[in-house]
Amino acid sequence: MREIVFDTETTGLDPFKGDRLVEIGCIELVNRIPTGQTFHRYINPQRDMPAEAFDVHGLSAEFLADKPLFADIAEELVAFLGDAPLIAHNASFDLGFLNAELERLSRPAIPRSQLIDTLLLARRKFPGASNRLDDLCARFRVDTSRRVKHGALLDAELLAEVYLELIEARQAQLGLESAGASRVLVAASAAPRVRPVPLAPRLTADEIAAHRDFVKTLGDDALWRDYLPAPTEAAAAEDATREKAAAG
C-alpha cells in the first residue's frame, strides 16, 4: 500500500484572499515504511511575504524570487501524489491551498476522500489534549532537534513518524521483525549444519587421558560423564594398563 505524507508552507492563512503556496514537501510510504522517495519544491508565490508568515518559515520573497512557479511543478507533483492516500496534519488547510493552486491552472481538484488527517486521529486518541505537531513529537519522543523554523519537507518527515505512532504501525513492524527473527532461529536449530571435514583435535592424547582420569574421581553420577566421547580401542587399552599399574 502506497501513502504520501505531505506538508505545505504558505504566505498566509486563506487561499481565497490571495495567499499562495511557497513550499511543499512529500514523503512516500509503502506498507507504512518510508521508501526514501520524496518530492520537495520551493515555489515563487508571485507576491510579497507578510512578516507573520516569514516568522513561521523564514522564506523571504527574495529567496523565492528565482524559484519555479506552481504551474512549472504541477504536473510532476500530481504524478508523484497519484491516487495514494494523502496524510497531513490539519489536512483541510493544506488541501485547500493545494486545490486553490490547481484551480488556477484549471486542473482537477484532489478529493477530500483521499485525505487522512493526523490531527483528527490525534484528537480521537488523546481527547482534550493539545495535539499540535510539536506536542505529538514530544509525546512520541520524535527528535525535533533539527527544527528551528517550519519547513515543509522536515515537517513531513516528522509527521510520518508521528503518523506511524498514531496508527501503531511501528509496534506492528517491530512485532513482525521479532517473529521473523524467531522463525529464523527455530529453522536454524531444527537443521544444524555439520562440518564436512571435522576440525583437527586441539588436545593431545595425554591431555584427553588425564581428563578421563580426573572425571573418574568424581563418582559414577558426575555430569561430566555424559559429555565424554566414547574412547577408542587404543584409549581403552591404555586406560586398562594405567588402572593395573595403579592397583600395583
CATH of the domain at 111: 3.30.420.10
Looking at the structure, tell me whether residues 129 and 230 fall in a common domain.
no
pLDDT at position 161 is 96
Domain-embedded: residue 22: yes
Looking at the structure, tell me whether residues 150 and 235 fall in a common domain.
no
Task: Please tell me what DSSP assigns to residue 68.
Answer: P
- Contact 81/51 with Cβ under 8 angstroms? no
Task: Please tell me what DSSP assigns to residue 13.
Answer: S
For the chain, the first-to-last Cα distance in angstroms comes to 84
Q: Which of 96, 119, 104 is nearest to 74 (CA)?
A: 104
Average pLDDT of the segment spanning 142-153? 86
| Beta partners for residue 5, in sequence order | 27, 87
Looking at the structure, tell me whether residues 165 and 214 fall in a common domain.
no
CA–CA separation, 184 and 8 (whole Å) = 43
Which of the listed residues 151, 171, 191 is the one where a domain comes to its end?
171
Looking at the structure, tell me whether residues 19 and 112 fall in a common domain.
yes
| Residue pLDDT, tens place only, 168-204 | 987 655 554 444 554 444 444 445 556 666 666 667 7
Domain-embedded: residue 210: yes
Looking at the structure, tell me whether residues 109 and 217 fall in a common domain.
no
pLDDT band at 46 (very low <50, low <70, confident <90, very high): very high
Catalytic residue among 40, 89, 150, 211: 150
Looking at the structure, tell me whether residues 159 and 224 fall in a common domain.
no
pLDDT at position 3 is 98
Domain-embedded: residue 119: yes
pLDDT band at 236 (very low <50, low <70, confident <90, very high): low
| Residue pLDDT, tens place only, 55-90 | 999 999 999 999 999 999 999 999 999 999 999 999
Residue 34 has pLDDT above 50, yes or no: yes
CA–CA separation, 247 and 238 (whole Å) = 14
CA–CA separation, 67 and 152 (whole Å) = 15
Q: Three-state SS for 134?
A: helix
Got the DSSP string for 151-206? -HHHHHHHHHHHHHHHTTHHHHHHHHHHHHHHHHHHHHHHS----SSPPPPSS-HH
pLDDT band at 219 (very low <50, low <70, confident <90, very high): confident
Domain-embedded: residue 42: yes
Domain-embedded: residue 143: yes
| Residue pLDDT, tens place only, 8-26 | 999 999 999 999 999 999 9
Which of the listed residues 171, 187, 218 is the one where a domain comes to its end?
171
Average pLDDT of the segment spanning 135-158? 90
Looking at the structure, tell me whether residues 144 and 89 fall in a common domain.
yes
| Residue pLDDT, tens place only, 86-135 | 999 999 999 999 999 999 999 999 999 999 999 999 999 999 999 999 99
pTM of the model: 0.68
Looking at the structure, tell me whether residues 109 and 60 fall in a common domain.
yes
CA–CA separation, 158 and 142 (whole Å) = 7
Domain-embedded: residue 76: yes
The total number of structural domains in the chain stands at: 2
pLDDT at position 149 is 77
Residue 205 has pLDDT above 80, yes or no: no
Domain-embedded: residue 61: yes
150 classed as catalytic: yes
Looking at the structure, tell me whether residues 126 and 222 fall in a common domain.
no
pLDDT at position 152 is 95
Domain-embedded: residue 182: no
* Structural domain boundaries enclosing 72: 2-171
Cell of 106: 484549471
pLDDT band at 241 (very low <50, low <70, confident <90, very high): low
Q: How many CA atoms lie within 13 A of 154 on its CB side?
A: 13
Looking at the structure, tell me whether residues 116 and 234 fall in a common domain.
no
